[in-house]
Amino acid sequence: MPSTSTLNFRGARQSWARNSSLRASLLHSSSRSSSVITQPNPSPNTADEEDAISLHDKDTAFSYEKRDQLGLRGLIPPARQNLETQLLRVSNQLRSKATSLEKYVMLASLRQTNTRLFYALIMSNMQECLPLVYTPTVGEACQKFSEIYRRPEGLSISLEDKGKVASLVENWPVPAGSPRIAVITDGSRILGLGDLGWNGQGISIGKLSLYVAGAGIHPRATIPIVVDLGTNNQKYLDDPLYLGLRRKRASTEEYIEFLDEVMEALHTKYPNLIIQFEDFSTENAFLFLERYQDKYPMFNDDIQGTGSVILSGFTNAARVASKASGKPLWDQRILMAGAGSAAIGVGKQLMSFFQRQGFTEQEAKERIWTFDSKGLVTTNRGDKLPEHKVYFAREDNGDNQSKTLADAIDFVKPTCILGLSTVKGTFDETVIRKMAALNERPIIFPLSNPTDNSECTFEEAVKWTDGKVLFAAGSPFPEIEAADSPTGKKLIPGQGNNFYVFGGIGLSGALCKASRITPEMVTESALALADSLTEEERAEGRIYPNIARIREISRDVAVRCIKLANQQKVSRDGGYTASMDDEQLRNWVQGEMWLPAYDKLEA
Ligand SMILES: O=C([O-])CC(=O)C(=O)O
Ligand SMILES: [Mg+2]
């Protein structure tokens, strides 16, 4: 093992030091421990002694006996404090920070120094912490990732490593078979912020923090990955602090060859690893999904995860809208502002809403319109459409070439508009008022992230529809109190963000050792999410469940996806999960979810 120069406690004894090597301490792993995964489906969550040490200090929670054993007497303040007291301290510290970015930096350093305390903190207050660890703050953090960098937290695989990726993967400090989930990005389209190059590493880390907090994946069983194929962001290329490769992005051929090597290396080393593709630019997102989905257990979060969550929120919103208008549930017309990876993914998922009600594929497709920067996407508008836009391109528009969204609304008469444009203000007053005039309960989902890119705010949507809107955004917005609400009732904005499902999808794949993440599993995740809304939540006007229940939701999504994986024969757990009834499966999944406790080692 490397030297002990990075020890938190330099004087600690060898036994402690062994687990505090550079790699172990930076990456939350123990090179000795093999407790993460053995056969057939062990709990990775046993908080044994080694685990506690490798997941870092319990600090003042160590008993005096333990301090003696580890050579820590005198290196920790005399007080013995449990997790709750430590939580109080870090919550206060967090609240004392002035900006969201400072809070992000503080939380990241807590994740690196006391992993359990970090997760205990965010799980104890999802509402406050989620926007700091994830959207929207993670967007700013990625933009400045090279500036705020302290220490490595994931794998960086760059073009410089071509031909050596397999040996690079060997450097990841966990035993073979252990990691369960990787999130991989090339940084080329981070949220709605464009090409951030290597700085996209922050999105892999953020998503995996949610995998742990929201789906109970063991922190050590996660691998955040950035593949660095250069960047076309000149600002970074000129910035001396930028930590990525200083070159323009590689050609598509080079790209494919390199990604093939990366996927092969990861899969060979970790055959059960579920690989989530995140924030690849549209063309590459589709390209790699098509290339790998029948070969590896992988999925694309922006195409499939977002599609699933919107299908779920739309289904719940359509039920409310149909009740209010007295029109049939299927009587929906959807106009999407945007035609990138998320938009097409959402469109394709939404088709299953119509197909489940008896529509053919063609009929379902005809209830969906796309609109991009050049106007309504049609086959006769005179430009060459990229392949992914062709599917939803209209042929039935006659002479109509709506150039503005307002024109398109007049033409399409939608019941629902979805914002996937990354352009703030796309849903302006004219657009929103038109939707309110057309519909009893207009469905308006401004989905672009982070908050600054949202097509409209919750307040605007409420104001311009007199509170009639059925709303979900990609990023969080504050609730509107009864006193300020045009309806006299408290209004709660939905957050149609893929975090509702990606954790459950990934968890299902990891637990049943799925050989593939099938499109049907993704659709199942949407149905499970829609079904998870309780009567109380419906009565509160929600179309998505309260995020505080994310663990329960991830469990239920995982259970449904595992059952489908068994039916589709893509699970590879030797019939282990197929042998369980529903309740057994639910309890087993629940038991597999890691909890950030100090457990028996607590003082
Ligand atoms: O990360 C998020 O908040 C949702 C997402 O995948 C994206 O916007 O690319
Ligand atoms: Mg994304």
pLDDT digits (tens, 9 = 90+) for 10-23: 233 333 333 333 33
Higher pLDDT pick, 177 / 46: 177
Task: Please give the span between the terminal C-alpha atoms of the chain, in angstroms, as a whole number.
Answer: 30
Ligand 1 contacts CB of residue 302 (under 6 A):
yes
- List 104, 134, 500, 598, catalytic entry: 134
Instruction: Show the beta-strand stretches assigned E in 264-321.
Output: 274-277, 298-300
Mean pLDDT (whole number) for 389-409: 94
- Predicted confidence (pLDDT) at residue 246 exceeds the cutoff of 90: yes
- Confidence bin at 150 (pLDDT 50/70/90): very high
- Model pLDDT, residue 63: 87
Beta-strand relationship, 334-337 and 443-446:
unpaired
The residue whose CA is least distant from atom 7 of ligand 1 is: 191
Residue 174: per-residue pLDDT: 74
What is the C-alpha to C-alpha distance for residues 425 and 452, in angstroms, rounded to an integer? 9
Q: Provide the pLDDT for residue 56.
A: 55
- Residue-wise burial string across 310-338, b where 16 or more C-beta atoms lie within 10 A, e elsewhere: bbbbbbbbbbbbbeeeeeeebebbbbbbb
Selection from 35, 34, 45, 3 nearest residue 20 by Cα: 3
Check whether 5 has a pLDDT greater than 50.
Answer: no
Q: Is 301 in the pocket of ligand 1 (CB under 6 A)?
A: yes
The pLDDT of 227-251, averaged and rounded, is 98
- With a 6 Å cutoff on the Cβ, whether 275 touches ligand 1 is no
- Please tell me the predicted confidence (pLDDT) of residue 62: 87
205-222 confidence digits (pLDDT tens): 999 999 999 999 999 899
Question: Per-residue pLDDT averaged across 57-80, rounded?
Answer: 87
Contact 207, 502 (CB under 8 A): yes
Residue 536 has pLDDT above 80, yes or no: yes
Number of neighbours of residue 194 by Cβ within 10 angstroms: 15
ipTM above 0.95 for this complex: yes
Q: How much is the pLDDT for 345? A: 87
With bands split at pLDDT 50, 70 and 90, how would you rate the model's confidence at 297? very high
Q: Mean pLDDT, to the nearest integer, of 574-600?
A: 93
- Hey, what are 389's tokens? 């836009």
419 lines ligand 1 (CB under 6 A): no
% the chain with pLDDT above 90: 82
pLDDT above 60 for 279:
yes
Distance, C-alpha 158 to centroid of its chain: 23
pLDDT value, residue 253: 96
Instruction: Tell me which residue has tokens 């990934």.
Output: 506
How many CB atoms within 10 Å of residue 105?
A: 18
Q: Indicate the pLDDT class of residue 178, thresholds 50, 70 and 90.
A: confident
Report residues near ion ligand 2: CB below 5 Å: 278-279, 302
What is the number of the ligand closest to the CA of 278? 2
**314's tokens:** 């739309």
pLDDT at 603: 39
Quote the CA–CA distance of 105 and 207 in Å, as a whole number: 16
To test the ligand 1 pocket, which listed residue (277, 299, 301, 477) has its Cβ within 8 A of the most ligand atoms?
301
For residue 177, what pLDDT is reported? 56
Q: What percent of the chain stands above pLDDT 70?
A: 89
pLDDT band at 29 (very low <50, low <70, confident <90, very high): very low
The alpha carbon of 389 and the centre of ligand 2 are apart by a number of angstroms equal to: 19
**Interatomic CA distance for residues 316 and 20, integer angstroms:** 49
pLDDT for the residue numbered 73 = 87
- Rounded to whole angstroms, the Cα distance separating 202 from 226 reads 9
Whether the bond between 42 and the residue before it is cis, its omega within 30 degrees of 0, is no
- Is residue 25 predicted with pLDDT exceeding 70? no
* Amino acid 599: pLDDT: 63
- Residue 412 phi/psi, 5° resolution? -80, -30
Confidence label for 55 from pLDDT (cuts 50, 70 and 90): low
Q: Is 374 a catalytic residue?
A: no
CA angle 9, 11, 15 (to 5 degrees): 85
Is residue 80 classed as helix, strand or coil in its secondary structure? coil
Measured between alpha carbons, how far is 34 from 41 in angstroms, rounded to an integer?
13
d(CA 339, CA 358): 26
Residues across the chain:
603
Q: What CA–CA distances, in Å, run from 257 to 159, 264, 388? A: 10, 11, 22
Average pLDDT, the chain: 89
pLDDT band per the 50, 70, 90 thresholds, residue 8: very low
Using CA atoms, how far residue 500 sits from 182, 311, 551, in Å, is: 18, 12, 10
Host H or E run for residue 69: helix 64-70
- Give 37's pLDDT tier (boundaries 50, 70, 90): very low
- 403 noted as active-site residue: no
Widest Cα–Cα separation across the chain: 82
pLDDT tier for residue 122 given thresholds of 50, 70 and 90: very high
- How much is the average pLDDT of 287-308? 97
pLDDT, tens digit, for every residue of 489-517?
999 999 999 999 999 999 999 999 999 99
Return the SS3 of 494. Answer: strand
Cα separation of 592 and 555, whole Å? Answer: 10
**Cβ neighbours around 510 below 10 Å, total:** 26
In this prediction, residue 362 carries a pLDDT of 96
Residue 27 has pLDDT above 90, yes or no: no
> Which segments of 31-128 are extended strands (E)?
none
